[in-house]
Chain A
Amino acid sequence: MSPAFLLTQVLNGVQFGLLLFLMAAGLTLVFGIMNFVNLAHGSLYMVGAYVAALTYGRTGSFALALVAAVVGVFVLGIVLDRLGFAALHRRDHLDQVLATFGVVLFANEAMRMLFGSAPLYMDAPAALSQPVVIAGFNYPAYRGAIIVAGLLVAVGLHLLIERTRLGMLIRAGASNRDMVSALGVNVGWLARLVFALGAALAGFAGAMVGPILSIQPGMGEPVLILTLVVIVVGGIGSIRGALFGALIVGIVDTLGRGVLPGLLHLVLSPSLASAAGPALASVGVYLLMAAVLAFKPDGLFPVRHS
């Protein structure tokens, strides 16, 4: 196990983590501010991927596909909020889970009715389709682009939340909703904006994964589960928590699959190692979550509520 190999795997973990961050940032904001558990976040991601793939197919422009996905899902977020998600904010979490679960069923089936069960085609833009060589390992340039995009979003969100009036309201809303309405801010619109922002991030994530993942109905759910893991590990409502949670989950998952089996082979008998390695790798993320929650029930970076 060479250092270069380890480095590559860590890089892979960071990249996967940043991908999860794009999903988690939106979900944790919506969760933290509106106290709204939105299972349909994965569906927004799926819609983003579909919009991007279709736009890319028509126009051949990757940039246009990204813009279409972000704007499209942002608008969809506003529409959904208007159509009734807003009414769910005041309901308890169970009602929210159930209603958005219904939306997930519908969204998956709608995609299937419109575009069939088979996955859609989308490739990386030509400029990024070739690998770069890092320490003897081929590293896909497109994954580098995902890292850059994830970091840019993280920085952008940081600036938005720490430096702008909107961000101040969002932070205030995360810890004390009543205070925000006491400031004379229309909480309904703030919530709608945040929801649409979160949706747009999910749409962006969907568009970004188009070239590396299969675009098909139901693609949102596995990622949604991991995203939920991320925000619970990181601490609900905290962007910082989402970022670190995503990086930790990404790295644990990747190293669990990429390095752990090799390590086990060093200490266990080959048959035992090849049985235990994959099994442990499959549950690594869940073990991590259970351990974190058992010791820090509010996650690693909890938002302080006042």
Chain B
Amino acid sequence: MSGTAPNPSAAREAGPGASRWRAGATAALMAVGVAVPIYAALTGDTYLVALASRILVYALAAVGLNLALGFGGMVSFGHAMYLGLGAYAVLLLGASGVTNGWLQLAILVIVVGVVAAVVGTISLRTRGIAFIMITLAFAQLFYFLFVSLKAWGGDEGMSLPQPSSFGPFTGNRTALYFALLATLAAALAGTHRLVGSRFGLVLRATRVNERRVRALGTAPLPYRLAAYVLSALLCALAGFFLANLTGFVSPAYLAWTVSGELIVMVVLGGAGTVVGPVAGAVGLLVLEEGLKALTEHWMAILGPLIVLMVVLLRNGLWSLLPGGVTNEARR
């Protein structure tokens, strides 16, 4: 394995007291998630739901990327591509008459699954920085493809003809929010189970020492590829929500900067921890929001803050909670 992979939890002391902190923080996050629309309904501050929905979309995408990047050591610099594919699926299917949300989801899973399998098969031939760059290349290919698709709005993007149809919940923003929250919770629960399963063991071991995994009798490629596809599907799901949330789809969703931001969220929150990416997404977007209220030159503050967090935190926000990494075991 190349040195590119993060080494997020070189050693985890599985003390029961330690993991309680993290479980508590996760529960607190979820409780806040549930409380937001209730608070918004009571105070009439409906914008809060819009803000929180967008954060949840990116949190979901970050949780997806984390599966490849954090647990699998596959540093994809092109996951915005799947976010965009998910969003465009809603537009393209909606415009061609497929408005049923479940059907859209089913088609999305198949199409993105196939695309991710092909892209993953080619990309996983490479390691380290080459993998970073080849995933970027594929994302750029799709970006420019959608930019030149005039019929679908080109770079200007296009409004959805109608939101995905889910019976009485169609177009309901609160319903959308809770669907997002439930999906994120399911993704987190799924990740939690996956990480400790046979599949998860192979995936995580491969990140650290691929050679050893082979010598123990397991060919890592199918598992890495599966994790890559799964991670792409989660991002596509986030894109599906993003399209419905904004009622709009544009190639800007596939821009390389979005891929970069997803990486920032994952690493900032804690790559290779289950809930870290959520903390990263919340942290980054709330920070942006707060700094922008402060000054128009907010990037001049955000930049150094990111540097500081990398230097001081090493393993992300989530590692601030006990039960995390012990530095002594980190090389």
Contacts and interface: CB of A to CB of B under 8 A. Distances in A.
Tell me, yes or no, whether A and B come into direct contact in the complex with CB atoms closer than 8 A. yes
Interface of A: 31, 35, 37, 84, 87-88, 91-95, 97-99, 101-110, 112-113, 225, 228-229, 232, 236, 275, 278-279, 282-283, 286-287, 289-290, 293-294, 297-299
B298 to A, nearest CB: 8
Interface in B283-311: 297-300, 302-307, 310-311
Given A283-B144, A293-B126, 14 more contacts: A94-B4, A94-B5, A94-B75, A98-B267, A99-B307, A101-B260, A101-B264, A109-B298, A225-B136, A275-B148, A282-B148, A286-B140, A286-B141, A290-B137
24 contacts: A88-B310, A93-B128, A94-B69, A95-B267, A95-B314, A98-B264, A98-B306, A102-B304, A102-B305, A104-B303, A106-B304, A113-B297, A228-B133, A228-B136, A232-B130, A278-B148, A279-B144, A286-B137, A287-B137, A290-B122, A293-B134, A294-B126, A297-B127, A299-B130
B145 interface: yes
Interface in B35-80: 69, 75
Given A283-B144, A290-B137, A294-B122, A99 B311 contact: yes
Which among B126, B256, B314 has the highest number of chain A CB atoms within 10 Å? Answer: B126
B299 A109 contact: yes
A93 B133 contact: no
Contacts of B130: 232, 293, 297-299
B198 interface: no
Contacts of B271: 94
A5 B66 CA distance: 49
Contacts of B300: 105-106, 109-110, 113
A35 B303 contact: no
Interface in B116-148: 122, 125-130, 132-134, 136-138, 140-141, 144-145, 147-148
A279 B256 CA distance: 17
Nearest to A225: B256
A251 B311 CA distance: 40
Contacts of B298: 109
Contacts of A113: 297, 300
**For A35, A88, A108, A232, which residue has the most chain B Cβ atoms within 10 angstroms?**
A232
A93 B129 CA distance: 8
A289 B299 contact: no
Nearest to B313: A95
B282 interface: no
Given A94-B263, A225-B256, A228-B133, A101 B306 contact: yes
Interface residue range, chain B: 35 or more
B7 interface: yes
Contacts of A92: 3-7
A25 to B, nearest CB: 17
Nearest to A102: B306
A109 to B, nearest CB: 4
6 nearest A-B pairs in the assembled complex, by CB-CB distance: A106-B303, A102-B306, A105-B303, A109-B300, A297-B126, A102-B307
Contact of A37 (B126, B129, B147, B305): B129
Majority secondary structure, B binding face = helix
B137 A103 contact: no
B203 interface: no
A35 B130 CA distance: 13
B308 to A, nearest CB: 8
Contacts of A299: 130
A225 B310 CA distance: 22
A279 B154 CA distance: 11
A174 to B, nearest CB: 14
Contacts of A102: 302-307, 310
Interface in B160-218: none
Interface in B260-280: 260, 263-264, 267-268, 271
Contacts of A105: 299-300, 302-303, 306
Nearest to B268: A98
B6 A297 contact: no
Contacts of A108: 299
Contacts of B302: 102, 105
A116 to B, nearest CB: 12
B210 to A, nearest CB: 14
A232 B133 contact: yes
Most interface-central of A97, A236, A298 (chain B CB within 10 A): A97
A93 B127 CA distance: 12
Contact of B138 (A37, A106, A236, A290): A290
B263 A97 contact: yes
Contacts of B69: 94
B193 to A, nearest CB: 25
A101 B268 CA distance: 12
B122 A109 contact: no
A101 B302 CA distance: 10
A279 B137 contact: no
A278 B149 CA distance: 12
A92 B3 CA distance: 6
Contacts of B314: 95
Given A113-B300, A232-B130, A289 B75 contact: no
Nearest to A221: B257
A277 to B, nearest CB: 10
A255 B150 CA distance: 24
Contact of A297 (B125, B136, B306): B125
